[in-house]
Amino acid sequence: MSNLQSWGRLPVQKQQLVLAGSAAEELVGQGKASILPRGLGRSYGDVCLNPGGKLLSSAALDNFISFDPQTGLLTAQAGVSLGEIQRTFAPQGFMLPVTPGTQFVSLAGAIANDVHGKNHHSMGTFGDHVTSLTLVRSDSSMLECSQETNFDLFRATIGGLGLTGFITQATIRLQPVQSPWLETENIPFKNVAEFLMLSDESESDFKYSVSWVNCASPANGRGIFMRGNHAGPQFKKNSTTILRSEPGAGKLTVPFDLAFSLVNKASVTAFNLGYYYANAATAGKHVSHYQPYFYPLDAVTKWNRIYGNKGFYQYQSVVPRTGGEDVLQEMLDKIRASGQGSFLSVLKTMGDLPPAGLMSFSRPGITLALDFANHGSKTLRLLDALDEIVLAAGGAVNPSKDARMSREMFEASFSNIAEFNKYRDPAISSAMSRRLLGS
């Protein structure tokens, strides 16, 4: 039994970690005790937790299996990290088509949460690029799932929150790139309306776009719009470009556990102000290595420790584009009024590609992701209030980052729950599934 937590570090009961072999036989004959597939534990909430039960880790399944440079198809075991894929293939002229904001994520974890990145508007989700996967279930079946075979199970497993079986390996189509560099541009904006204008004007010409938004006062709603494209083979460095090169990965760390949180009103306000001015001062065009561009937070390993031993909540919502401006303003006002500002508040539009999975979170609209230090009931009350706003707007909350939403909110967010339940593996459950799916 060990003290395994998720990235949010909210307190959790002990769980037993079991290492999966290449055929994940450990899942078979589980009987009544609950088991849950586990990747690198980078989910914020309780989707990767199974208090009192077992976690079946993919950590030993970290091998590449094959790669075809003609098609870009990579087959790899479940536990290979996205960072390993980027590092290995960038020199060979390929990169992941979609990546979340950290590279310390496993291949299967990225599929199970159907993660998205800064290019949702142009490339969809991670699951859109998965061509097949191998699923082991507790009835000892080992199934090849793809568009062609076992399609129902394939669709239920992408974004299936680990509940349909253990993925042992998967095939994903990498995208060809001409260099590991990106040409990027930072543009300050004053309010949500300006953010939306920038999004509209950028979506067709920029493959990547994401914004940081201030949700502490003063100047709540102001932010930095960051857009970018892959650079050509010989990008031109001129006097106006600022080069952000590859940092020594993980050179900075928060080396110990803190009994208290460094995140409070004063530090959040200071950070939000500082972040704005630092970026506004360097507004304009940059050339950036993919590491600092895709994974700015990875430069400080274990940054989740700044929240102390009570941990933190991440809250990600998506609301429809129509009327979205007012809804977002209402949320930002609510947060400011609560005095519980968020350090890193990320705003992005999502495109209208149909979701790859039955339970995929992503859908057309505007998504806002926020981090809140855990101040107990005060924080939970704020999140419930945000839920109400999202619910009224016909939006959704992301379960793969959540640790507290109500069943009602979850059911309002997803219309395919009954269909999804047909594909669940009866031996598998998580803290999240017991909370939101009843088992």
* Interaction site with other proteins (CB under 8 A): 2, 4-7, 9, 17, 19, 22, 38-42, 55, 57-60, 62-67, 69, 74, 76, 87-88, 91-92, 255, 257, 302, 304-305
Euclidean distance between CA atoms 108 and 160, whole angstroms? 11
Question: For ligand FAD, which residue has the nearest CB?
Answer: 162
Q: Characterize the bridge pairing of strands 300-301 and 252-253.
A: parallel
If 0-12 CB within 10 Å is exposed, 13-18 middle and 19+ buried, where does residue 1 land? exposed
Q: Residue 57 binds what, of other proteins, ligand FAD, none (CB under 5 to 8 Å, by partner type)?
A: other proteins
Site for ligand FAD contains 37 (CB under 6 A): yes
Tell me the DSSP string of 266-298.
HHHHHHHHHHHHHHHHT-EEEEEEHHHHH-GGG
Closest CA to 302 of 4, 9, 2: 9
Q: Residue 66 binds what, of ligand FAD, other proteins, none (CB under 5 to 8 Å, by partner type)?
A: other proteins
Binding-residue total with ligand FAD (CB under 6 A): 32
Q: Cβ(103)–Cβ(82) under 8 Å?
A: yes
Question: In the structure, how many helices (H) and strands (E) does the chain have?
Answer: 12, 21
Q: Residue 105 binds what, of other proteins, ligand FAD, none (CB under 5 to 8 Å, by partner type)?
A: ligand FAD
Residue closer to other proteins (CB basis): 20 or 263: 20
The verdict on whether omega for the bond into residue 218 sits within 30 degrees of 0, i.e. cis, is yes
Euclidean distance between CA atoms 420 and 273, whole angstroms? 44
Alpha helices in 76-207 (DSSP H): 82-89, 107-112, 120-123, 151-157, 192-202
Q: Residue 193 binds what, of ligand FAD, other proteins, none (CB under 5 to 8 Å, by partner type)?
A: none
Contact range with ligand FAD by CB under 6 A, out of 161-169, 172-180, 188-196, 252-260: 161-169
Q: Which residues of 88-125 are buried (b: 16+ CB within 10 A; e: fewer)?
A: ebbeebbbbbbbbbbbbbbbbbbbbbbbbbbbbbbbbb
* Per-residue contact flags (x/-) with ligand FAD for residues 379 to 408, judged by CB under 6 A: ---------------------x--------
Euclidean distance between CA atoms 430 and 435, whole angstroms? 8
Q: How far is the CB of 92 from other proteins (least distance, A)?
A: 7
Q: Residue 395 binds what, of other proteins, ligand FAD, none (CB under 5 to 8 Å, by partner type)?
A: none
Site for ligand FAD contains 101 (CB under 6 A): yes
Residue type, 151: F
Measure the CA dihedral 433/38/403/422, to 10°: -20
Residue closer to other proteins (CB basis): 140 or 253: 253
What are the beta bridge partners of residue 55?
17, 36
Residue closer to ligand FAD (CB basis): 123 or 167: 167
Q: How far is the CB of 23 from other proteins (least distance, A)?
A: 11
Among 76, 90, 95, 115, binds ligand FAD (CB under 6 A): 115
Site for ligand FAD contains 109 (CB under 6 A): yes
Q: How far is the CB of 367 from ligand FAD (least distance, A)?
A: 9
Site for ligand FAD contains 42 (CB under 6 A): yes
Contact range with ligand FAD by CB under 6 A, out of 33-41, 142-150, 409-417, 419-427: 33-41
Instruction: Classify residue 308 by its DSSP letter.
Output: G
Among 4, 9, 12, 39, binds ligand FAD (CB under 6 A): 39
Among 53, 83, 97, 117, binds ligand FAD (CB under 6 A): 117
The three-state secondary structure class of 252 is: strand
Q: Which residues bind ligand FAD (CB under 6 A)?
A: 7, 36-43, 47-48, 58, 78, 100-102, 105-106, 108-110, 112-113, 115-117, 161-162, 166-167, 297, 400
